[in-house]
Amino acid sequence: MKHVLQAMMTTEAPSEFNHLETLPTAELLAGMNQLDQTVPQTVAKALPQIEQLVEATVARLREGGRLFYIGAGTSGRLGVVDASECPPTFGVPAEMVVGIMAGGDGAIRVAVEGAEDDAEQAWKDLQAHNIGPKDVLVGIAASGRTPYVIGGLQRARAAGLATGCVVCNAGSAVAAAAQFPVEVVTGPEFITGSTRLKAGSAQKMALNMLTTATFIRLGYVRGNKMVDMKLSNVKLVDRGERMLMDELGIVQAKAAALLKQHGSVRAALEAIQP
């Protein structure tokens, strides 16, 4: 069984490139770029699976649920990044999308050895958030065999949560533990086994799709604009003003006054176009 599992793990297969230490910079970059171009094609094959996960997530969040990510290493960090970007982008509460990292928040910067091997810890970490049946749990694991993620998904599924995953090998234990698995099979990496490369890019794309499509479906985008984004810096205030100028056909001074008066692009638009 061990040999069968290893054969299935194409992310661990030998790189198509060799003697990398002898190559000039231009060839290294060209090789990585060559492989990177296969990632969107691979993600495209998983779109039906991503769609199912989005639909399940939309349904739970409409009922007042939340979206949780769990993962280790690069996979866990990607979940934390995606979760942290949802509040400023869509204006949602910070607790609506939560990224949990094996080893705790400190592991975002410094690897915590062995944290991913504890199959019980993810569920313990989730308990701190009073997780319940209305919530969604998505496990992120390039290998598809991370015990922290497998254990968390199994416990969550048994407790009635909707469960999904994003993995980069076919037929994995993580996918088997999830109701809505997303399998983006990226194949061998430029450096053998370095899943921060193609696999990480594919996972980032899948997570982008999951939260972006979910919050569009939930009404947090108007037209093609982030009307609920938090106006937390000069760049975003400027973007908000330009949204109002484009939508209402007004000059910047008027847009700035409306934005200051109403506090958000959506509120300003709804005041003028109820």
DSSP letter for each residue of the chain = -HHHHHHH-GGGSPPS---GGGS-HHHHHHHHHHHHTTHHHHHHHTHHHHHHHHHHHHHHHHTT--EEEEE-HHHHHHHHHHHHHHHHHH---GGGEEEEETT-GGGGTS--TTGGG-TTHHHHHHHTTT--TT-EEEEEESSS--HHHHHHHHHHHHTT-EEEEEESSTT-HHHHH-SEEEE----S-SSTT-TTTHHHHHHHHHHHHHHHHHHHHTT--BTTB-TT----SHHHHHHHHHHHHHHHT--HHHHHHHHHHHSSHHHHHHHH--
**What are the pLDDT digits (tens) for 50-85?**
999 999 999 999 999 999 999 999 999 999 999 999
Choice among 12, 51, 55, 85 that is catalytic? 85
pLDDT of residue 196: 96
Angle (CA) 191 46 95, round 5°: 90
Phi, psi of 26 (to 5 degrees): -60, -40
Choice among 116, 183, 241, 247 that is catalytic? 116
Report the distance separating Cα 135 and Cα 167, nearest Å. 20
Report the distance separating Cα 210 and Cα 226, nearest Å. 16
User: For residue 45, which amino acid is it?
Assistant: K
Q: What is the mean pLDDT of the chain?
A: 94
Query: Is 85 marked active-site?
Result: yes
pLDDT of residue 3: 36
**What's the average model confidence in pLDDT over 203-232?**
95
The model carries a pTM of 0.93
pLDDT of residue 5: 46
Query: Is 116 marked active-site?
Result: yes
pLDDT of residue 78: 98
Q: Tell which wins on pLDDT, 95 or 107.
A: 95
